[in-house]
Structure 1
Amino acid sequence: MTAPSAHDVVVIGGGVTGAGIARDLSLRGLSVLLLEKGDWGAGTSGSSSWMIHGGPRYLEFDWDTTRLSCVDAGHIVTIARNLVYRVVFLIPVMPHDRNNIERMETAMEVYDRFQPLKHAHPHRRLTGQEALQAEPGLSPDVIAAVTMEEWGVDPHRLVYANVQDAVAHGARALNHTRVTELVKDGGKVLGVRYRTADGATSEARARAVVNATGPWSPELGAMAGVDIRLRPAKGIHIVYPHRISNFSISAESVDGRDLLMVAHAGFTLLGTTDDDFYGDLDSVDVLEDEVDYLLQGFERVFPRIRDYRPVRTTTGVRPTLFKWRKYEDELSRRYEVIDHASQDADGFITIAGGKLSMYRLMAEETSDAVCRKLGHQVASTTASRPLPGNESDPEAPAELAARCGISALAAMKLQSRHGTNAEKVLDEGGTSRILCRCEPVTEAELVYAARREQVRTLADAFRRVGVAAGPCAGAACILRTAEVIGRELGWSASQRFDAAREFVRGAWLGRAPVLNQAGWAQEELAQGAMRGLMGFDGSR
């Protein structure tokens, strides 16, 4: 083991909140070490519904969370303009719904008061005929509808933008690095011991250690000898590799819970379940029953939903604060910053609970607590300071495309991830070759990700640039991806093959629950194109 490194703060957890804390503290001039056992945003953050929203359903029992979410959503929209886009919801009212159109519009009128906080437009009321004209795929039984506007975001890029800015201001950030032990002396936490991806063990000393590990917070708390109570809630999404509708649509499940079909830029998310979870946080499976539960709920408002072929599922666990007796979807999304000094763990601070759309506020308040403990009197600037690539307005995608020899769509996708740094990304790779037709990712961006964005696996590349996220699910591009990344990271031919096989096997777990007859046919075709990747003997 090498000599311990010294930092003001060690932040454990590379989801959006941990990355936000690292950025906030770095901007305040503190030295920060950020550690993540997997990849940036690979846990709860990446398995979200990809929205920055206020959450109108919380108006029933938690107005303050709705207000705070809308306020912070407004800040996020301002500092991350290249990452966000408007998402317009169509909320149909069906016969026998618990909320008739009058109650629904009253709720929307209340929510309209919060909409200016996040730069969104007020609702509109539609008749049943107008709703069907806007979206013919709705059930002919629809009585009326209201519209609502939220914001979509790529959570993986949002997380990495925060990591990138933290590093630019002096932080050290390590992914694929697992904390194995907290260093304690009596009632004080002095630092951490951690193991990097190559198996090397190191120690870092710090004046404060922040636990931003989301649903894993109790596990890390146990290392410090403190009890952190959460009520973890599992949620799944079905992913379609195209837009089913130009609108996002809400529905109601058989047991009355809210479901959403969210239309993003080039794909659709249908979700989400919300169930107490007691299993292994590092091995969360999607069940076919959960898929059927979502489809059953949406069939009522969108009868042809089963005609559309999904490409995969996603799943994650929310770090909900503990509450007895409440149904899972009624639990508050409030958060709590906990200083464990009174529990014989001075110097150890936990941030628990919350939601993606107020990550910046959670990071600011956690950073405030750290600064008070360290006597560091510098205010947060993250509410107004742009994230990387948002310092100025981007040029028109067509102009970038013409100058760099790529399609306008590829240019637009590149700008949505890198903002005004898009051309620099292309210059780094030195090629305009497109890696995959169904997701116009350039090889140059993949080269840049391997060199500059800590991509160490093909799953990292999936999160960072969207490779294998389209209809081919990697069949047309994963081997070439392994070649490009392997060349940059010095992989041998066998290592490149092993990396591709590992990705395909991991992706299979998300695809299997949604494979219908057509899906199985595509799977056979894909396996023919990638023979040998699922196993040396050709077996699945």
Structure 2
Amino acid sequence: MEDNNLHLSLKRKNRFESTKSGYDVVIVGGGVNGLGTAWDAALRGFKVLLVEKGDIGSGTSSWSSRMIHGGLKYLEKYDVPLVRESLKEREWLVKSAPHLVRELRFIIPFYKNNQNSAMILRLGMIAYDILSFDKSLKSFEFFSRKKILEKEPGLNPKDLKGGCAYSDAQVDYSERLCYEIALAAKEAGAEILTHVKAIDLNVSNGKVNSIKIKDELSGEEVDVPTKIVINDAGPWIDDVWPKEHISLPRMNGGTKGTHLVLHSFPGAPSDAFYYESDDARPMMVIPWKDRYLIGSTDIPFVGDLDTASATQDEYDYILYETNKVLPEAKLTKKDVIYAYTGVRPLPYSEGSKVSDITRRHKIVDHKDKYDGLYTLVGGKLTTFRQVGEDFGDILSKRLGKNVKCKTRKMKLPGGNITSMEELRNQIKNTGINETLIRRLADQYGTIGVKLSKFIMEKPERQEVIDEAFGLTVGEVEWAVTFEEAYRLSDVIARRIMTGLEDDLGLGSIEPVSKICAKILDWNEERRLQEIELYKNYIKRLEVK
């Protein structure tokens, strides 16, 4: 194990220092869109470096509604191209990561006082269905008032006129989705360095020639020669470069979205609900990992993006709207297990209503001042692959490499599955405890077969250290050894996924931290420091 510790430490240091050799493109931001861009570019043969100041998917990509959707709401703005693009990408993800992305059925109740009439909603359903002509998901269906109340008796019957059902998709762990995109990019040849921050851009005669990066763990800094720099930092795009050196107009006008996590409650629906709030916002009640997500808000946000959290007004708003549509629930703040908040990376549009701000992504070319610098403004979880393709086309044209996009016909590393039943049988055949089979299949896909074999190699790896979740020692060892988790929060929140359980991973933090300490060569002081850092990290999720 000591040799492996040394190997991991030296390997990371050597990878950081080797960046001095230079790249075709450096991508700043390890969220879903930055990772998708790295994957596409690497597959086209470009030499790619991606740097992320935190961990893979540790920003907005972790804090969405966890929906892979076509954007039904966008039809209100007549943005048909965006809806069609999103529906195509939804279908690709359902087929490319079937272990992580699954069909989710939604119920929309039609109420008398909705902003959109039942007829408009019917037309919207028909349009949504036509635009998803190549889908594998179920088509829509309409319900009379009587039928929808039979199906979902918890619905508020007052002024209810009927309803409909349609399908989108859900990703239980967007964190694992991000990791698999990162793995795909690495397998294609990209270098991905986490806990490495872009701190400056070097420009000569109006043209980008290198980027300065800093290893947040060691403090070391290097200049990395590059032809192109892509700022893919989501809502952080305006904060990447020192303003005294790189002067750009404000580009991000992000809005804050909060979700509350609860156990099942009286009147809780069997399918997801999509309904209209008093202020005509779309609200949702979504089954998720034997619990429910309810929300979300959509509020212009100015503040510390790294610590955005739910306010009392948001609790009141979400609970009121949920209780209104499901009156038996009688939910209060005491029913909330935890809450999470993300900031949507929307374009800055001074004076615009939040609902009027486009959800399309836009690639900004800064050639007039900083030739070779591009910024992604906007971007959604569902359409990351298309963002990567768009950037790949730009790179191919600019750098003279006539190579077409390859990601459209590929699957993610854990998604090469004939059927989930067959995958579960493959995991079962490793001899692993039967209680772990379904979770490992769902969480890791085909990677779960390799992980199961790794766990079964040594009896000590089979020890369960979190009975409720079924977490084994081997999973923690795997996360650190093979999945480049360098901090305790990386392991708990975005690899083994106990960080999304009711206790936010605290129930097994001692054994998990000791395994990390052994492999990463932490002394006791460092281990305790990592525990405190993790506890500080989850403060934003705790109900206050």
Using the alignment, how far apart are the partners of 2:56 and 2:103 within structure 1? 25
Structure 1 pair 125/108, CA: closer, same or farther in 2 (3 Å)?
same
**Superposition TM-score, scaled by structure 2 size:** 0.89
Paired residue secondary structure (2:84): helix
Equivalent position of 2:292 in the other structure? 268
Q: 1:78 is paired with a residue of what secondary structure? A: helix
**How far has the Cα of 1:407 moved from its partner?**
3.1
2:198 aligned with 1:198, yes or no?
Answer: no
Checking the alignment, whether the CA contact within 8 Å between 1:89 and 1:149 is kept in structure 2 is yes
- Contact 2:427-2:441 at 8 Å conserved across structures: no
| Aligned equivalent of 1:150 | 168
CA distance in 2, matches of 1:261, 1:293: 14
In structure 2, the partner of 1:51 is 67
Cα offset for 1:81? Answer: 2.0
**Shift in CA distance, 507/351, structure 1 to aligned 2, threshold 3 Å:** same
Q: 1:490-505, aligned counterparts within 5 Å?
A: 490-505=521-536
Aligned to 2:503: 472
Q: Distance in 1 between matches of 2:190 and 2:81?
A: 33
Equivalence for 1:131: 148
Q: Work out the CA distance in 2 between the residues paired with 1:463 and 1:237.
A: 18
1:444 to 460, 471, 474: 474
Shift of 1:292: 1.0
Query: 2:253 is matched with which residue: 231, 244, 248?
Result: 231
Matches within 5 A, 1:174-189: 174-189=193-208
Deviates more, 1:271-280 or 1:11-20: 271-280
Show the counterpart of 1:111: 128
Q: Measure, in 2, the Cα distance between the counterparts of 1:116 and 1:229.
A: 35
Out of 373, 379, 393, the position equivalent to 1:348 is: 373
Moved more, 197-206 or 399-408: 399-408
Measured at CA, do residues 499 and 102 of structure 1 come closer, stay the same or move farther in structure 2, by a change above 3 Å? same
The residue that corresponds to 2:427 in the other structure is 400
1:71 deviation in Å?
A: 1.5
Aligned-pair CA distance for 1:182:
0.9
Q: 1:110 to 1:365 in 2, by over 3 A?
A: same
Trace 1:25-36 onto structure 2 (pairs within 5 A): 25-36=41-52
Q: Which residue of 2 aligns with 1:433?
A: 463
Tell me which residue corresponds to 1:385.
410
Which residue does 2:541 correspond to in 1? 510
TM superposition shift of 1:396: 4.5
State the Cα distance separating 1:262 from its structure 2 match: 1.7
Amino acid paired to 1:439: F
How far residue 402 of structure 1 moved from its aligned partner, in angstroms, is 6.0
Find the aligned partners of 2:472 and 2:119 in 1 and give their Cα distance: 50
Distance 1:509 1:137 in 2: 32
CA separation in 1, counterparts of 2:284 and 2:352? 21
- 1:298 paired with 2:298, answer no
Give, in whole Å, the separation in 2 of the partners of 1:43 and 1:262: 21
Shift of 1:481: 1.6
Question: TM-score, normalized by length of structure 1?
Answer: 0.89
Counterpart Cα distance in 1 of 2:57 and 2:280 = 31
Q: Which amino acid aligns with 2:408?
A: A
Give the C-alpha shift of residue 218 in structure 1. Answer: 2.1
Unpaired runs of 5+ residues, structure 1, are: 514-540
The AA in structure 2 aligned to 1:183 is: N
1:269-305 deviation per Cα after TM superposition (whole angstroms, max 9, x unaligned) = 2121111112222332321111111111111111205
Instruction: Tell which deviates more after alignment, 375-384 or 474-483.
Output: 474-483
**Alignment match of 1:77 (pick from 94, 113, 119):** 94
User: How big is the shift at 1:108?
Assistant: 0.9
Once residues 348 and 129 of structure 1 are traced to their aligned partners in structure 2, the CA distance between those partners, rounded to angstroms, is: 58
- Runs (5+) with no aligned partner, structure 2: 1-15
Asked if structure 1 preserves the Cα contact closer than 8 Å seen for 2:274 and 2:284, the reply is yes
In structure 2, distance between residues paired with 1:390 and 1:198: 35
Alignment of 1:420 with 2:437, yes or no, is: no
| Residue identity in the other structure for 2:214 | R
Distance across 1 between alignment mates of 2:38 and 2:318: 36
Task: Encode CA deviations 1:82-128: one digit per residue, 9 max, x unaligned.
Answer: 22111111111234222343332222111111233443221111123
Give the match for residue 487 of structure 2: 457
Residues 305/174 of structure 1: CA separation in 2 closer, same or farther (3 Å cut): farther
Post-superposition shift, 1:355? Answer: 1.4
Q: Distance in 1 between matches of 2:330 and 2:130?
A: 33
Decide which moves more: 466-475 or 274-283: 466-475
**Displacement, 1:184?**
1.4
Counterpart code for 1:451: T
Secondary structure of the corresponding residue to residue 512 of structure 1: coil
CA contact (8 A) 2:427 2:452 kept: no
1:237, 1:314 within 8 Å by CA — same for their partners in 2? yes
Do the aligned partners of 1:251 and 1:297 also contact (CA within 8 Å) in 2? no
Residue 244 of structure 2 is aligned to residue 218 of structure 1: no
1:256 to 1:444, Cα distance in 2 relative to 1, 3 A: same
Pair 1:170-2:185 in alignment? no
Is the CA contact (8 Å cut-off) linking 1:124 and 1:146 kept in structure 2?
Answer: yes
Superposed displacement of residue 501, structure 1: 2.7
CA root-mean-square deviation: 2.2
1:63 positional shift: 1.9
Matched to 1:150, the amino acid is D
- Which stretches of structure 1, 4 residues or longer, exceed 6 Å deviation after superposition? none
Is the Cα–Cα contact under 8 Å of residues 250 and 348 in structure 2 kept in the other structure?
Answer: no
Q: Tell me the secondary structure at the aligned position of residue 57 of structure 1.
A: helix
Distance 2:96 2:426 in 1: 24
* Mapping 1:243-282, distance limit 5 Å: 244-282=268-306
| Contact 1:183/1:190 (<8 A) preserved | yes
Q: Residues 191, 443 of structure 1: CA spacing in aligned structure 2 closer, same or farther, 3 A cutoff? A: same
| AA in 2 matched with 1:246 | S
Deviation for aligned residue 1:14: 0.3
Percent identical = 28
SS in 2 for 1:164: helix
Following superposition, the deviation at residue 251 of structure 1 comes to 2.7
**Structure 1 stretch 281-290 or stretch 97-106: which is displaced more?**
97-106
Q: In structure 2, what residue type is equivalent to 1:229?
A: M
> Any conservation in 2 of the 1:79–1:383 contact (CA below 8 Å)?
no
CA contact 1:76–1:383 (8 Å) conserved in 2: no
| 1:157, distance to aligned residue in structure 2 (A) | 1.4
For residues 305 and 261 of structure 1, do their structure 2 counterparts lie closer, same or farther at Cα, with a shift above 3 Å needed?
farther
The CA deviation at 1:45 is 1.2
Task: Check conservation: 2:114, 2:280, Cα contact below 8 A.
Answer: no
* Paired residues for 1:516-535 under 5 Å: none
State the alpha-carbon separation in 1 of the partners of residues 350 and 490 from structure 2.
Answer: 37
Contact 2:432 2:452 in 1 (8 A): no
Post-superposition offset of 1:200: 1.2
Between the aligned partners of 1:42 and 1:456, the Cα distance in structure 2 is 13
Which residue matches 1:532?
none
Q: Is the 8 A contact 1:401 1:411 kept in 2?
A: yes
Amino acid at match of 1:274: D
Is contact 2:98–2:417 with CA below 8 Å preserved after alignment? no
Distance 2:533 2:509 in 1: 11
- Between 270-279 and 499-508, report the one with greater CA deviation: 499-508
Read off the aligned partner of 1:348 and give its amino acid letter.
Answer: L
In the TM superposition, residue 175 of structure 1 has moved relative to its aligned partner by 0.8
Distance 1:480 1:412 in 2: 23
Q: Give the count of matched residue pairs.
A: 511
SS in 2 for 1:40: coil
Query: Is this contact kept in 2: 1:253–1:293, CA < 8 A?
Result: no
Quickly say closer, same or farther: Cα 1:217–1:396, change in 2 above 3 A: closer
